[in-house]
Amino acid sequence: MESNCVFCKIIGRELPARVEYEDDRVIVFHCKDPSAPVHLLAVPKKHIPTVMNVEEADLPVISHIHKIAQEMYRQFKLEGMSMNVNCEEKGGQDVFHVHYHIKGWV
């Protein structure tokens, strides 16, 4: 865990979040500044700064996030969804801990 990372602090329960799902590899919580009716952030518990830092050993957790997105789609009875990850500041990343935006519409 990175001591100055806001997502690591959420994972460590140092900061509050409205958690929707959690297991030993991933936490999913509601975005504090949503841009869709349902806007979740899926975050691996392992601190990975950007998608460019994902290694082969990390691929199972990335795949797992996609599976969780399917579960969230069903749980929220969504009629449409987008999922994206930003990379680096110029790519729109503002927290340097890999996270997937799961945005859904009902």
* Neighbour count for residue 78 (Cβ, 10 Å): 17
Query: What are the pLDDT digits (tens) for 43-90?
Result: 999 999 999 999 999 999 999 999 999 999 999 999 999 999 999 999
Among 47, 66, 97, 99, the active-site one is 99
pLDDT class of 3 with cuts at 50, 70, 90: confident
Question: What pLDDT score does 68 carry?
Answer: 97
99 among known catalytic residues? yes
The structural domains of the chain, ordered by start, are 6-105 (3.30.428.10)
Q: Please state the pTM of the whole predicted model.
A: 0.94
Question: What pLDDT score does 1 carry?
Answer: 76
The average pLDDT across 100-104 equals 98
